[in-house]
Amino acid sequence: MSRRVVISGIGAVTPIGHRHSGFWNGVSRGTCGIKTIDRFDTTGIGARVAAQVDDFDPLDYFDAKLARRMDRFAQMALAAADMAVEDAGLEIDRKRLNPRAGVTMGTALGGVSGAERQHERYMTQGLRSVDPSLALVVFGGAGSSNIAIRYGFTGPSNANSNSCASGAIAVGEAFRYIKEGYADVMIAAAAEAPLYPLTFGAFALIKALTFNPDPETACRPFDLRRDGFVMGEASAALVLEELSQALKRDAHIWCEVLGYSCNNDAYHMVAPRPDAASTTRVMRDTLTQGSVKPQDIGYINAHASSTPLNDKIETFAIKQVFGDRAGNIPISGTKSMHAHPLGATGALEAAICSMIFEKELLPPTIHYATPDPECDLDYVPNQARSQRVDYILSNSFGFGGINSSLLFGRHEG
């Protein structure tokens, strides 16, 4: 069985705007959500900037009792899911269980920062001071489980922790469940809330983060002066549906999901393969699955982490896949705006790609100033570009050599 799958709902909680409308406004205007960290003292860490979500209050979305039962990452995931369901116009009877609906979720770290906070209490006040719900809120599946419980979705359930590819894999697995007939509707969500001293500092220890203290130049994908990624927090959720069901209820369709693939470099925990063999293959496999030729791709949302090695290898991989045409394909590094919320990123970028078909505007790569001879493609520098595209590829690559690509197509209603 092979069925067509569309995206009918988008929700987002991000440093540059909430809901699909606020997020799109931030992306299209080239808004930078990066700032000097003010939640904790960064003395001794080295890295000083991040993309904080400072205007999220879980009580705006659900009651205090439910909020207390979740870590921040799950609170943001559930809020984004609510937004996506509302955007999709799904009518859900929460008292009736639905075995044809399910949830996939991606998060690299789950509730690790919440555990860090509780550990501080344990060390200073003892075990009885620790939140009794700790064991239920820190695991990555807490986010997807809370979404499933809220909506009575008893169908496929999958929470993955595949580093920075987690969000893309959540979208891809939701696509597969519907395409292969296991479900008719899926919520694909991803969330990360890693901004706490030990969690943040751990990435600084391995020199993955930028030590640039200037928020306006800290994240500059493909720029010669890039020196590390900027950590952020965020969540995104997408409603995926089987096409005929979406058409039957006259849903607003953002786009069609056409392909998905994931693989592993099997090379190194941090560095990508120098020959880009696996990143090249993951893009080619995704195109093949969607029956789309390389020459049909009109835009690429790159992983573009703003690290010296990863941006160079991704550029090389794109050249391997698209050949002489690579220089003519617009490519954005949107992390320059919303930074890198680890496992949430792939879902955020899938949301961006979904909206491009209707908006007919390509997001910019902001902070781009000094070209890198080894990164010499069209990165839509600094200003959004009006352009109609019919097919979009989105890349997500993570620690451990995990690679994933998603393929989206315009849906002609």
User: Hey, which residues are catalytic here?
Assistant: 164, 303, 340
Please name the residue that has the structure tokens 């969690």: 199
**How far is it, in rounded angstroms, from Cα 33 to Cα 53?**
9
* Coil/strand/helix, residue 277: helix
Give residue 201's identity as a one-letter amino acid code: G
CA dihedral 350→354→360→363, nearest 10 degrees, is -20
* Coil/strand/helix, residue 241: strand
Check if the beta carbon of residue 284 is closer than 8 Å to that of residue 318.
no
Helices (H), 259-369: 277-289, 308-322, 335-338, 345-359
Check if the beta carbon of residue 162 is closer than 8 Å to that of residue 77.
no
Adjacent-strand bridge partners of 35? 50
Say how many C-beta atoms besides its own lie within 10 A of residue 307's C-beta.
Answer: 24
**How far is it, in rounded angstroms, from Cα 53 to Cα 30?**
17
Non-local (6+) Cβ contacts of 132 within 8 A are none
Burial of 363 (0-12, 13-18, 19+ CB in 10 A): buried
Give residue 213's identity as a one-letter amino acid code: P
Please name the residue that has the structure tokens 């960064």: 42
Angstrom CA distances, 154 to 96, 150, 184, stand at 10, 11, 12
Exposure class string for 141-170: b at 16+ Cβ within 10 A, else e: bbbbbbbbebbebebbbbbbbbbbbbbbbb
Say how many C-beta atoms besides its own lie within 10 A of residue 33's C-beta.
Answer: 23
The pair of structure tokens assigned to 92 is: 């859900």
